Each structure stands twice: as C-alpha cells, then as structure tokens.
Amino acid sequence: MKKGKLFVLSGPSGVGKGTLRERALNDIKNLVYSISCTTRKPREGEINGVQYWFVTREKFMEDISLNLFLEYAHVHDDFYGTLRQNVIDELEKGNNVLLEIDVQGALQVKEKMDDAVLIFVAPPSVEELERRLRGRHTESIEAMKTRLTNAVNELSLKDKYDYVIVNDNLDSACEELRKIIL
Ligand code: ADP
Ligand code: 5GP
C-alpha cells in the first residue's frame, strides 16, 4: 500500500491555523490529525484527547527521556510535542497526517523526515493578527503579549517553509491548503 504524506502547518498564534485545520479535516478524506501533548492547562471547553493530550511536566519530561517524541518544543512558556508512533502508524496505513505545530518543531520534523511538506500560515498584517487574537478571548493580556512577540520571530522563519498561505480571505486560504494536500 502507498504510504501517506506528512503535512506540517505552522504560523503565529491567532492566524487561523485551527480554523483551517478543521476545514481541511472535514473536507479531505484520508487526512488525519495528530493530537499533540502539552503541559499547557486546558482552556475552557477543551477536552483531554480532543484538542491535546494534557499532561504534567513530569510526564512530558519522562516521554522526552523515553524518546517518544518526533519533535517537541518550549512554546509560550509550555512544552508541546508530537508523539512519533502514532504518526508512523497512520502513514503506514496510507493516511495523510496533519501536524499543527510551532516553527521550531516544524524544522525538527523536516530534518528527520525530508519528504514532510511544510506549510506556513501568515496573517495579512500584524494588526489583523492582534485583532484576531483579541477577538478570540482565550488569552490573558500577558499571554497575548507573549504570543505577539513570538509572532514576529515566527514570521521571520517563513522562508524555510515549502508553502506560505496568507490567511486573508478564509475560503481562499482553505482552497489553497486543499490544493497543496490533494
Ligand atoms: P490559531 O489556531 O492560529 O491560533 P484560530 O484558528 O483560533 O487561530 O483563529 C483565531 C481567530 O481568528 C478565530 O476567532 C477565528 O475565527 C478567526 N479567523 C480565522 N481565519 C480568519 C480569517 N481569514 N479572517 C478573519 N478571521 C479569521
Ligand atoms: P495553543 O496553546 O494556542 O494551542 O498553541 C500554541 C502553539 O503551540 C501553536 O503555535 C501551536 O502550533 C504549537 N503547538 C501545538 N502542538 C505542538 C506540538 O506538538 N509541537 C510543537 N512544536 N508545537 C506545537
């Protein structure tokens, strides 16, 4: 059976990655999402095993020492990582796998899996990014500041990606993503 392909979606917090991901998972057959582990606390409405596997720092450190992660990174004061085995199993089954991870993680994946396709989602402007992040009402002022500062660093790395999608009009951005994956 033909093996699946690995797609990695990155971009600053609030740019619309989650929105694009949901649309892609609804629209595209044989595309599965790899649920990451994080030490971040669940936001209201988030459920363990749906958005993330929410784990303690101790558990995360243990999984690092057991070499269970394909990649992991320290992002906005917490750890986030992709469990390797689940990704490998899905690819072997012939499914395409979508990761939604930060830039440091994406570059680690590319080093280990050369045929991974890296897709960067960019905002039409930093002002619009801030508007979206504020509009989402999920972060404290402090957390939002950290995310906006990190956004500038992340944007400077977009040239390392195979594709850059500017998420201005949502439908057009979804269509661009669909074309890359299909
Ligand atoms: P991320 O997962 O990158 O942090 P989200 O998907 O949570 O971002 O999107 C952040 C906010 O921006 C959400 O309120 C979402 O509805 C909104 N959003 C996403 N894409 C667009 C777009 N193209 N135009 C306007 N608002 C958008
Ligand atoms: P949030 O806390 O808003 O859900 O995610 C914060 C950041 O962590 C986002 O940029 C998201 O892409 C990134 N992230 C989520 N899961 C992973 C992961 O498994 N690995 C890495 N490196 N980053 C991740």
User: From the CB of 15, is ligand 1 less than 6 Å away?
Assistant: yes
The whole-angstrom separation of Cα 39 and Cα 37 is 7
User: From the CB of 21, is ligand 1 less than 6 Å away?
Assistant: no
Residue 93 CB-half CA count within 13 A: 12
- The more confident residue out of 161 and 138 is 161
Evaluate if residue 31 carries a pLDDT over 90. yes
User: From the CB of 18, is ligand 1 less than 6 Å away?
Assistant: yes
User: From the CB of 135, is ligand 1 less than 6 Å away?
Assistant: yes
Residues whose CB falls within 8 Å of the CB of residue 26, separated by 6 or more in sequence, listed in order? none
Q: Encode pLDDT of 50-100 as tens digits.
A: 999 999 999 999 999 999 999 999 988 899 999 999 999 999 999 999 999
pLDDT band, very low/low/confident/very high, at 161 (cuts 50, 70, 90): very high
Q: Encode pLDDT of 100-152 as tens digits.
A: 999 999 999 999 999 999 999 999 999 999 999 888 888 888 888 888 888 98
Sign of the torsion formed by the C-alpha atoms of 90, 92, 94 and 97:
positive
Distance, C-alpha 2 to centroid of its chain: 25
Other beta carbons within 10 Å of 178: 15
- CA nearest ligand 1 atom 26, residue: 132
Of 22, 40, 80, 153, best ligand 2 pocket probe by most atoms within 8 Å of the beta carbon: 80
